[in-house]
């Protein structure tokens, strides 16, 4: 079985057998910069990347329907919860790779090497610049404080990003405290949850609420937009990294795994190893205003000014493991 000692283009070219020609990628990431990255992989290795795109749920359903006859080699999706769903469905096969073990931090790897993180995004607390940061607001737990009554904008509790955040809260505090937290946030809602993270930031900038929860990359998209109205929204809000004095900020990932029925397994491993090279990490992160998972890779764009923070050390696999409990907690708390 092919194992690469490095991720340089030269090493990749030398290590691959002459008959290796393609890797079939099913991806829930949809960014033009990713396409350029796949071209770079082909140039370095001679392996063509055949791409199928869709939402994470759509692709998983397709993989399950295709079963053992699936041509897919690699599945890329976003959120630890979705990666866990693929694990539970038996879609991934374990990978032994010194490159991946060395370059991807352990907390962004599945404990049994079924998937590996590619990019990271922090879920943070935003506030309206004109109103200022509400006094005492520092941690996720503070979002349930009655002092912030009628201030909060957030997506629905069924959204995978909020489910994963709750999964970590359960891991840190236990279900009883997590339910009290959800109930407190429900009391503090400024409006019924609606829309995506960008909609929360727009509402915050418009004064519909004073605090909001969003992933950092949504702010990065607004800030780097060619639309002046988007930039104005980004300038009207600011954010803090929660829980810096204790367990750290909740961080989620996009990740990739080699599929159990991969017809081109060696190429699939080489492809994921390429995705954690410095070159690929920068392209992946900058393409969506995310963070590289590999330490020391410098990024561009507005998020580059917000790289110094303490992330949580919880393994991302916890988000999927606790997902059912997280949904049940939200339901019991009555959070929309």
Chain segment 233-289, per-residue pLDDT in tens: 999 999 999 999 999 999 999 999 999 999 999 999 999 999 999 999 999 999 999
pLDDT at 17 over 70: no
Other C-beta atoms lying within 10 Å of the C-beta of residue 12: 21
Higher pLDDT, 158 or 4: 158
**Cα 284 from Cα 296, distance rounded (Å):** 14
**Cα 97 from Cα 331, distance rounded (Å):** 41
Coil, helix or strand for 223?
helix
Predicted local distance difference test score (pLDDT) of residue 8:
41
Name 30's Cβ contacts closer than 8 Å, sequence gap at least 6. Answer: 53
Angle at 272 between CA 114 and CA 293, to 5 degrees: 85
Q: Mean per-residue pLDDT for 90-113?
A: 98
pLDDT at 2 over 50: no
Other C-beta atoms lying within 10 Å of the C-beta of residue 129: 13
Predicted local distance difference test score (pLDDT) of residue 320:
96
Predicted local distance difference test score (pLDDT) of residue 30:
86
- The proportion of the chain whose per-residue pLDDT surpasses 70, expressed as a percent, equals 94
pLDDT at 10 over 60: no
The rounded mean pLDDT for the chain is 94
Predicted local distance difference test score (pLDDT) of residue 31:
86
Q: Write down the domain spans for the chain.
A: 9-120+252-304, 122-249+318-333
Q: Specify the length of the chain in residues.
A: 336
Class of domain 122-249+318-333: alpha beta
pLDDT at 294 over 90: yes
Q: In degrees rounded to 5, what are phi and psi of residue 257?
A: -140, 155
Angle at 311 between CA 313 and CA 140, to 5 degrees: 100
Question: Residues 17-50, buried b or exposed e (16+ Cβ, 10 A)?
Answer: eeebebbbbbbbbeeeebeebbebbeebbebebe
pLDDT at 204 over 70: yes
pLDDT at 69 over 70: yes
Predicted local distance difference test score (pLDDT) of residue 6:
33
Q: How confident is the model at residue 32 (pLDDT cuts 50, 70, 90)?
A: confident
Predicted local distance difference test score (pLDDT) of residue 158:
97
Q: How confident is the model at residue 20 (pLDDT cuts 50, 70, 90)?
A: low
Residue 75 parent element (H or E): strand 74-78
**Cα 100 from Cα 104, distance rounded (Å):** 6
Q: What superfamily does domain 9-120+252-304 belong to in CATH?
A: Periplasmic binding protein-like II (3.40.190.10)
Contact 160, 242 (CB under 8 A): no
**Cα 188 from Cα 11, distance rounded (Å):** 55
């Amino acid at each position: 079985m092919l194992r690469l000692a490095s991720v340089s283009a030269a090493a990749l070219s030398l290590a691959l057998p002459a008959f290796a020609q393609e890797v079939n990628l099913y991806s829930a990431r949809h960014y033009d910069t990713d396409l350029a990255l796949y071209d770079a992989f082909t140039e370095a290795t001679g392996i063509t990347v055949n791409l199928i795109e869709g939402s994470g749920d759509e692709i998983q359903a397709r993989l399950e329907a295709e079963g053992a006859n699936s041509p897919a080699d690699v599945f890329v999706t976003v959120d630890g919860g979705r990666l866990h769903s693929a694990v539970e469905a038996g879609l991934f096969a374990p990978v032994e790779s010194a490159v991946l073990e060395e370059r991807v931090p352990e907390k962004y790897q599945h404990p049994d090497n079924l998937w590996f993180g590619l990019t990271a995004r922090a879920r943070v607390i935003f506030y309206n610049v004109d109103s200022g940061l509400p006094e005492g607001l520092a941690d996720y737990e503070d979002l349930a404080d009655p002092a912030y009554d009628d201030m909060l904008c957030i997506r629905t509790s069924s959204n995978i990003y909020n489910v994963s955040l709750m999964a970590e809260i359960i891991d840190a505090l236990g279900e009883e405290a997590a339910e009290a937290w959800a109930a407190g946030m429900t009391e503090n809602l400024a409006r019924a949850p609606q829309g995506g993270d960008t909609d929360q930031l727009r509402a915050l900038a418009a004064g519909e609420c004073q605090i909001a929860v969003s992933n950092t990359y949504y702010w990065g998209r607004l800030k780097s937009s060619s639309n002046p109205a988007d930039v104005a929204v980004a300038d009207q809000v600011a954010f803090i990294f929660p829980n810096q004095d204790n367990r750290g900020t909740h961080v989620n990932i996009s990740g990739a795994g080699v599929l159990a029925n991969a017809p081109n397994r060696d190429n699939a491993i080489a492809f994921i190893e390429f995705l954690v090279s410095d070159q690929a990490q920068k392209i992946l992160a900058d393409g969506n205003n995310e963070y590289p998972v590999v330490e020391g890779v410098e990024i561009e764009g507005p998020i580059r000014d917000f790289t110094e923070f303490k992330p949580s050390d919880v393994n991302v696999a916890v988000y999927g493991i606790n997902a059912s409990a997280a949904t049940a907690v939200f339901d019991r708390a009555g959070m929309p």
